[in-house]
Chain A
Amino acid sequence: MTSAPLAPLDSDISIDQLMRDPYPIYRRLRAEAPVLRVASVGRTFLTKAADTRRVKDTPAIFSSDDPNTPMKRAFQSHTLMRKDGPDHMRERMAMMSAFMPKTLMTHWVPLYQQIAEDYIARLPRGETVDLFDTLCGPVAARILAHILGIPEASDAQMQQWSQALMDGAGNFGWRDGPFAVSDAANVEMDALFEQLWDRHRATPGPSAYAVMVNAADPIPKSQIFANIKIAIGGGINEPRDGLATIVFGLLTNPDQLEEVRRQEAWMQAFEEGVRWVAPIQASSRRVLEDVEIRGCLIPAGDTVMTIQASANHDEELFDRPELFNAFRNPNPHQSFGSGPHHCAGAHIARRTVGQIMLPLLFDRFPKMRLADPTVVRWHGFGFRGPVNLPVTLN
């Protein structure tokens, strides 16, 4: 169909480099090789915003369907994340109402407010604590447990299950260790879900579990469990890392923090934080037919990686993209993706992190400061954020 050459092949970029700091690499690729086969990852990187957007918006050519990923092994199920078309839509819509604004406003906001207040109130004033461990992770876990209809799960369990599923799903080396951990997590999750089945049947409610179980035409039990696991795997590290990133961005830009506070522009700070360092940096799509991108042939069967982290720093759309600027307007980031797989938790994230957590946290500790910005470490290629956030609370 096309006689275009294949995309150039890179043999230098290592996964370790990408884990440490991918942004300088992406800046170079946007300028020099925006379509690039990266040998170490085994995928074709797309680093320009227009290309990542086109891929996500064209699922008929760029498919999510890939039955042979470590994700299937880790989740012990072919989940909606790796389906297309009506099959994906049916499983997504089975739980979508639980994540939508009307449900959040009607049922959850007062509870979230309470959870946020409780978790922030536990933090010791005057001391230096790691907000990543003491607040960002636990509060994300607690809120998610309620939305999903599994509040019996502890914060520690939720976070451990989530990490186990993600490590398993990312286990492209197919090593035994990560799958042993995800298998153990599956046993624990399945046991809890089984135990809660009858109660959710008997008492319909707004949680994801309850709406799936009580639907007029429910999806199979296996897929109800798979959907809850997908939400656990994909619903903790993103709000956790997003919150930590935004707090870091504001604390290292005190002028902006002051202005955000004055204007109550917390939602803008939220959008900028998730643009600046997207919690989900990259996604994969399988190419179903030969296609040309920027003069490069991407053959059918190839897997492209949309690098939304790079799209969010595309100089064609963003001025000085490397800087945190809470008042950036417009801010057309792609951190929630687009197309049929657009992040189902986007509404929840905006409300819980942007509208509830940020104002509460900075209200309670108006003089909070980073103990030492240079000790904050950032990590991750597929998912990225700070891994520690020591702040002095005042």
Chain B
Amino acid sequence: MPALVFVSPTGTRQEIEAREGDSVMSAAVAAGVAGIVGECGGAMACATCHVIVNAEWWARTGGRNATEESMLEFAASEMQPHSRLSCQIRVEPALDGLVVHLPEAQL
């Protein structure tokens, strides 16, 4: 199972294992990662699963779609160049070891 690493705003790293095909958001929620809410379940309707993808991984996760961009633009924490909604990143073998940073707030 691919590993995912979540880095909190204070620098704490939490590594979890994720099932292929799940979203990064649902893997994080299932593993109880504090700082990922994901209340809408992956419909891009709540913008509470905001992550900033580590620059080295950006090419592999790919960029934001139009709705994602619109939601992140008004999210609780300022959108960064590598901001994504983690519900829109699908876990796959190529993302084994993915590092994402958590924003200050989701709500």
Q: Show the binding face of A for B, using Cβ within 8 Å.
A: 53, 56-57, 59, 89, 92-93, 96-97, 100-103, 105, 267, 330, 336-342, 344, 346-347, 350
Contact of B107 with A by CB under 8 A? yes
Interface segment, B9-17, B55-63, B65-73, B94-102?
A: B65-73
Contact-size category for B:
10 to 19
**What residues of A have a CB within 8 angstroms of the CB of B31 in the complex?**
none
The answer to whether B71 and A338 touch across the interface, beta carbons within 8 angstroms, is: no
**What residues of A have a CB within 8 angstroms of the CB of B2 in the complex?**
none
CA distance A253 to B76 in the complex (A): 32
The answer to whether B74 and A97 touch across the interface, beta carbons within 8 angstroms, is: yes
The listed residue (A56, A89, A346) touching B46 by CB distance below 8 A is A346
Q: Which 10 A-B pairs have the closest CB atoms?
A: A100-B74, A342-B40, A101-B76, A338-B41, A342-B45, A102-B74, A340-B43, A57-B41, A339-B43, A97-B74
The answer to whether A346 and B67 touch across the interface, beta carbons within 8 angstroms, is: no
The answer to whether B107 and A342 touch across the interface, beta carbons within 8 angstroms, is: no
Known contacts: A339-B41, A339-B43, A342-B40. The answer to whether A93 contacts B73 by CB under 8 A is no
The listed residue (B32, B41, B76) touching A102 by CB distance below 8 A is B76
The listed residue (A100, A267, A337, A340) touching B75 by CB distance below 8 A is A100
List the count of A-B residue pairs having beta carbons below 8 Å apart.
63
Known contacts: A101-B107, A102-B75. The answer to whether A93 contacts B70 by CB under 8 A is yes
**What residues of A have a CB within 8 angstroms of the CB of B47 in the complex?**
100-101
The answer to whether A341 and B42 touch across the interface, beta carbons within 8 angstroms, is: no
Q: Which B residue sits closest to A89, measured CB to CB? A: B67
The listed residue (B42, B71, B76) touching A96 by CB distance below 8 A is B71
Q: Which A residue sits closest to B105, measured CB to CB? A: A101
Q: Which B residue sits closest to A99, measured CB to CB? A: B74
CA distance A330 to B74 in the complex (A): 26
Q: Pick 22 A–B contacts, CB within 8 A, sort by A.
A: A53-B41, A59-B43, A93-B67, A93-B70, A96-B70, A96-B74, A97-B74, A100-B71, A102-B73, A102-B75, A336-B39, A338-B43, A339-B45, A340-B43, A341-B45, A342-B40, A342-B41, A342-B43, A342-B45, A342-B46, A347-B46, A350-B107
